[in-house]
Amino acid sequence: MKHHTRAAVSVIFRIVLACAPLLIVGSLWGQPGPGDSKSAQKFSASSIQIERMDPGDVPMPPEFRVAIYEHLITEIGKTGKFQHVYRSGDKDAASAPDLVTLRTTAQSFRKGSQKQREVTTVSGSSSIILKVNITDHAGKTLVDRNVEGKVRFFGENLRATYDFSKKVAAIVQDSF
Amino acid sequence: MSIQNPIVNVSVATNSFRGAGARIWARGLFLLAVGAPLMFFPASARGQATDTPQAAPSVVQTDVKLVIGGETIKNNAQGTLSVVGSSLQFATGKAKVEVKASSILDISTNEDSRQDITGAAKVVTMAIPYGGGRVLSLFSHGVDVLTLEFTDANGGYHGMVFVLYKGQGAPFKKQLVAMGAKASVPLAEPAPTNK
């Protein structure tokens, strides 16, 4: 009886030893990377205020700034994550209890050329890169990353602003 | 008899003149009473005149494209842009948006170009063999891009982008700035011609 028990223990011990490296490898594989950790964490807020884009030192035409802002309002509203999407300066935002604030700062801008894009297919792309920062009511940063919007082939240059806003909306969707 | 009659007639005539004078005075006083507030408050009178919906638009442009920013109007809708009273108005067949000149934080015009062939026709050109569709992409025309930044009644920031025929953006900017709209970049004066 004792002999059988010892044999069983040794077999189980060997199986555990054999499985240990697999478990270690599996746990390392399954660990979220530094980029994933941001999207894995979920925050909650009932309302968001979108501030005006800060152009910084980047020379960006006003129509791009306005298009970015208006697309952001539309696309973030479409996510359905917030009861209210407040515009910058809206007096009602002050009374919102758990308000988060989205700020965008221009990092780089290339206007490109629709004609060049469509004729050559390899040059003339439009690109905008903005830093997207979302903070809570206390000012704590919840999301902080650079997002690029671009038009590679078809469409007007302003379409880069739509591409950017869709990507920001996807980040908001993952974060809230 | 013939002498007395004129005396009687004169007295009657004087009485009638007195009655007419009193009526004129009464009318004058009435007009003064009605007109005095208008004379002392010219601003309110001007405000009433500009707010009337019948005010004729001072600058009008048809076939304007609203690229983005129309709350009740879809993006890329075509319509008529006009300055009516003290507001900028964009109207399509179905809806209308209005922005008060005084609420405009910044107004700017920019030159750009747009393809002559767009939409479904653009997709069709892709089927043209030997890169014919790409050649058609070379055809474009100059346009003016009019950008507005303004606040709503609640203080919320808004923006609108219009695309107009080339050279049509400046009159709108000039008119709106004259009515109190702000512009970070002043309107460029036309270059003097050397004769």
CA-wise closest residue to A134 among A64, A91, A79 = A79
d(C-alpha A147, C-alpha A145), whole Å: 6
Kindly give the parts of chain A with pLDDT less than 70: 1-5, 16-17, 19-40, 115, 118, 154
Are residues B141 and B113 in contact, defined by beta-carbon separation less than 8 angstroms? yes
| pLDDT value at B61 more than 60 | yes
Q: What pLDDT band is residue B12 in, cutting at 50, 70 and 90?
A: very low
Contacts of B125 in chain A (CB under 8 A): none
Q: Determine, for residues B157 and A89 on separate chains, whether the beta-carbon distance falls below 8 Å.
A: yes
Contacts of B151 in chain A (CB under 8 A): 89
Q: Supply B98's token pair.
A: 């209005």
Q: Determine, for residues A62 and B149 on separate chains, whether the beta-carbon distance falls below 8 Å.
A: yes
Contacts of A72 in chain B (CB under 8 A): none
Are residues B172 and B84 in contact, defined by beta-carbon separation less than 8 angstroms? no
Are residues B187 and B144 in contact, defined by beta-carbon separation less than 8 angstroms? no
Q: What is residue A141's predicted lDDT score, i.e. its pLDDT? A: 95
From B137, B157, B160, residue closest to A87, measured CB to CB: B157
From A66, A71, A87, residue closest to B147, measured CB to CB: A66
All structural domains of chain B with their residue ranges: 4-40, 52-178
| pLDDT value at B46 more than 60 | no
d(C-alpha A89, C-alpha A51), whole Å: 8
Q: Is domain B52-178 annotated with CATH 3.40.50.620?
A: no
| pLDDT value at B43 more than 70 | no
Q: Determine, for residues A89 and B155 on separate chains, whether the beta-carbon distance falls below 8 Å.
A: yes
| pLDDT value at B42 more than 80 | no
Q: Determine, for residues B155 and A90 on separate chains, whether the beta-carbon distance falls below 8 Å.
A: yes
